[in-house]
Homo-oligomer: A and B are copies of this chain.
Amino acid sequence: MGSNNKQVILKSYVNGSPKESDMELKASTIELKIPEGCNDAVLVKNLYLSCDPYMLGRMKKLDGHYVDSLTLGAPIIGYGVSRVMESSHPDYEKDDLLWGFVGWEEYTLITNLTTCFKNPTQRRMAGMTAYAGFFELCTPKKGETVFISAASGAVGQLVGQFAKLMGCYVVGSAGSKDKVDLLKNKFGFDNAFNYKEESDYNVALKRYFPDGIDIYFENVGGKMLEAVLNNMRIHGRIAVCGMISQYSLAQPDGVHNLFNLISKRIKMEGFLVMEYYHLYPKFIEMVLPHIKKGDITYVEDFAEGLENAASALLGLFSGRNVGKQVVVVARE
């Protein structure tokens, strides 16, 4: 007879808009001990779970997606920070902190540690995503103009601050007055606007970029991408990080003006952070001094308890979160 282990289960594959009823809080039990003969495993207590837009993809029944679909009836899986309770793996010992894929539950037995790392306080997916997408794909230059959609999100807020450090002119879009204020007052964007208050994105972009956009950090897709393409400058670069406005649509919006890619010689490139982890030391070297000096800041949005995890995840798709959305399972 094991210990209680609350879990957030995937109850049914998401079809169209994700709903809380696609997930279920379930009381289960777990033996708090690594089974006999189970080598290279760790048993962890989960502390913090990361809510990320890409997770919706795994909650759908899809073929050919870049990550596998989750298993029905099993816990949601995502990035988390956890504490090692017991280890049969030579790299880990009791009380180590671990960062990697864990279940949305109180305790997880991890038998495949290839996606896990020690020392998680330094290992931030959002930061690395912002770094790789902005510096590697967009090759920014001082004085260039940068537009970021979903700019107050986990990635966007960092891209904007990186761009300001580079000497770029930076404008972000977000979905509420509070987020717009945050961008302008806390993150130092040159300007920001609430896309929900704009009837025509073209008009909004022309207001903030009368001479066009050099770099677009794409987090939303759809109609915003279409408007941005019309407002890009020659030799513009688009890093395609996400398309959150599209994930819940049965039929994603059509983008009708891709001819801009030719007429303006635009490079548009998608990426996944997992392919850039080799740049992690470079990223840390660049970002740590700025964090210590306080000229890079970070806003996180905490939801307390697995009971609120499903709702926190869904909040990403209606823009309810302000900054990085995290679920606190336990504080230590």
The interface of chain A, by Cβ under 8 A from chain B, is 57, 65-66, 221, 225, 234, 240-243, 246, 251-272, 275
Assuming A257-B252, A258-B243, is B269 touching A266 (CB within 8 A)? yes
When all copies of this chain in the complex are counted, the total is 2
Q: How far is the CA of A255 from the CA of B275 in the complex (A)?
A: 26
**Pairwise interchain contact A240-B261, C-beta atoms closer than 8 A:** yes
**Pairwise interchain contact A243-B259, C-beta atoms closer than 8 A:** yes
- 7 nearest A-B residue pairs (beta carbon): A254-B254, A261-B270, A262-B270, A66-B263, A267-B269, A240-B261, A252-B256
Q: CB-nearest residue of chain B relative to A242?
A: B262
Residue from B221, B257, B265 in contact with A271 in the complex, judged by beta carbons closer than 8 Å: B265
Residue from B65, B258, B263, B266 in contact with A221 in the complex, judged by beta carbons closer than 8 Å: B258
Q: Does more than half of chain A's interface fall in helix, strand or loop, or is it mixed?
A: loop
**Pairwise interchain contact B254-A256, C-beta atoms closer than 8 A:** yes
Q: How far is the CA of A258 from the CA of B224 in the complex (A)?
A: 13
Closest beta carbon of chain B to A162's beta carbon, Å: 20
Q: How far is the CA of A270 from the CA of B261 in the complex (A)?
A: 5
Closest beta carbon of chain B to A165's beta carbon, Å: 25
Known: A243-B258, A253-B256, A254-B254. 14 other contacts (CB 8 A): A57-B263, A66-B263, A221-B258, A243-B259, A251-B256, A252-B259, A255-B258, A261-B270, A262-B270, A262-B271, A265-B269, A265-B271, A266-B270, A267-B267
Closest beta carbon of chain B to A200's beta carbon, Å: 17
Assuming A252-B256, A252-B257, A254-B255, is B262 touching A272 (CB within 8 A)? yes
Q: How far is the CA of A87 from the CA of B22 in the complex (A)?
A: 78
**Pairwise interchain contact A275-B269, C-beta atoms closer than 8 A:** no
Q: How far is the CA of A82 from the CA of B95 in the complex (A)?
A: 81
Q: How far is the CA of A144 from the CA of B202 in the complex (A)?
A: 39
Q: How far is the CA of A275 from the CA of B267 in the complex (A)?
A: 14
